[in-house]
Structure 1
Amino acid sequence: MKIDFAKYTDGLVPAIVQDAVTNKVLMLGFMNEEALTKTKELNKVTFFSRSKNRLWTKGEESGNFLLLKDIKVDCDNDTLLIKAEPVGPVCHTGADTCWDEKNVSNDFLSQLENIISDRKNNPTEKSYTASLFAKGINKLAQKVGEEAVELVIEAKDNNDELFKNEAADLLFHYLILLQAKGFKLEDIIAILKERHK
């Protein structure tokens, strides 16, 4: 990775920080060669603060660190893309990002998992999802099994709409079971990625 720090008179290159999971842009900072080296050493994103005129590890006071996952350099070798895992809010205002955006995935399954989590943590009598959590893990596991059998039955027929609906039912109940066990889909995806290597 060759970075042209000399391209700018102050020796600082822009460093765009992106959430490694959601791909949301979290903030923009500046790095010199020393800040980049420190980032790699600590595995915590470190900038050169122009206002403090020194190296500054994001989160050194608040504890809201940016844990380094990956570094990429752009095609002109003068801008960094830092992929990180935020520990808490990124902005000094308390917002998830410096643009006051929520750091959530645009992925529908992630949004659905957030809804399921909300139903689990804030149950209401009207919520079907909350009622499943209330029945306990055995009933929930049984429900996933029932949905799997229904999907298998529809797979043997030629009604695509029924098959897709049963597949959606199984996926929905599977996501609920994962949360009941304390996991998210990303935990399962990580295993699949590891197997793929």
Structure 2
Amino acid sequence: MKQKINFENGLIPVIIQDQETNKVLMLGYMNREAYEKSLYEKKVTFYSRSKKRLWTKGEISKNYLIIKKILIDCDRDTLLIKVVPKGPTCHHGTDTCWKENNKKNFLFYLEKIISYKISKKEQNSYTYKLYKKGINRISQKFGEESIELIIESKDNNKNLFLNESADLLFHYLVLLYYKNISIKEVIKTLEYRNLLKNQ
């Protein structure tokens, strides 16, 4: 959906932010033509002040910025574009133009792996085999891993404790997937509880 943007000065600043990590990746500029092209192609296109032309990020490197959401500020002269970056954003090969690491939370990545293996019905996948057995087996396995973690917590073997913790967390994610609940929903519940507690 097109928004009313103030292009009176020709160019407006555009902040590019990773949709998942919220890390700011770069700053560029758009004119009306670059904005229209970005909307149409769903990939970020800037107006390059040095090249004096439209420039689609990734046109050479293929490290495109796939648009997920466009927000406009209160004065209608600055954009915040949330994207999925297809590779490093900076032309120097770094994740951001400030040389910051844009590492994604592995927990969310693991959640996607679980979803992928189940949706693709990978027959040799432990994840899919467990999912196919249904809620009773998934719950039972989660319970078994909980007990094993409790047992390891009474000893001083850090490595065994970490491995049992990882097992429990993995099976918890499988259980959440079966219940059609995301880890983000659990986090939001915790955040809400914390908010109520501190009011």
2:5 match: 3
Q: Once the two structures are superposed, what CA deviation does each residue of 1:18-57 show, in whole Å capped at 9, x if it has no partner? A: 1111111111000010000000111110000000000000
Kindly indicate whether the alpha-carbon contact (under 8 Å) linking 1:66 and 1:84 is maintained by their aligned counterparts in 2: yes
Kindly indicate whether the alpha-carbon contact (under 8 Å) linking 1:147 and 1:169 is maintained by their aligned counterparts in 2: no
2:196 match: none
Kindly indicate whether the alpha-carbon contact (under 8 Å) linking 1:24 and 1:104 is maintained by their aligned counterparts in 2: no
Which AA in structure 2 matches 1:170?
L
Q: 1:89 to 1:168 in 2, by over 3 A?
A: closer
TM-score normalized with structure 2 length = 0.60
Q: Distance in 1 between matches of 2:70 and 2:139?
A: 43
Match of 2:126 among 137, 140, 156: 137
Cα RMSD between the aligned structures? 3.9
Kindly indicate whether the alpha-carbon contact (under 8 Å) linking 2:142 and 2:171 is maintained by their aligned counterparts in 1: no
Q: Distance in 2 between matches of 1:62 and 1:24?
A: 21
1:171 match: 169
Three-state SS of the structure 1 residue aligned to 2:170 is helix
Aligned positions, number? 148
Q: 1:101 to 1:144 in 2, by over 3 A?
A: farther
Quote how far apart the aligned CAs of 1:88 are: 0.8
Q: Distance in 2 between matches of 1:34 and 1:188?
A: 41
Q: Distance in 2 between matches of 1:33 and 1:60?
A: 19
Q: Once the two structures are superposed, what CA deviation does each residue of 1:39-97 show, in whole Å capped at 9, x if it has no partner? A: 01111100000000000000001111111111110011110001111111110011111
Match of 1:149 among 137, 143, 146: 143
Which AA in structure 1 matches 2:44?
V
Structure-to-structure mapping, 1:31-110, within 5 angstroms: 31-105=30-104, 109-110=107-108
Could you tell me which runs of 5 or more consecutive residues in structure 1 were left unpaired when the two chains were aligned. 118-135, 154-165, 179-183, 193-197
Which AA in structure 2 matches 1:75?
C
Could you tell me which runs of 5 or more consecutive residues in structure 2 were left unpaired when the two chains were aligned. 114-124, 148-163, 186-199
Quote how far apart the aligned CAs of 1:3 are: 1.1
Q: Percent identity?
A: 54
Q: 1:76 to 1:61 in 2, by over 3 A?
A: same
Three-state SS of the structure 2 residue aligned to 1:109 is helix
Quote how far apart the aligned CAs of 1:170 are: 3.3
Kindly indicate whether the alpha-carbon contact (under 8 Å) linking 2:6 and 2:77 is maintained by their aligned counterparts in 1: yes
Q: Distance in 2 between matches of 1:78 and 1:33?
A: 11
TM-score normalized with structure 1 length = 0.61
Which AA in structure 2 matches 1:172?
F
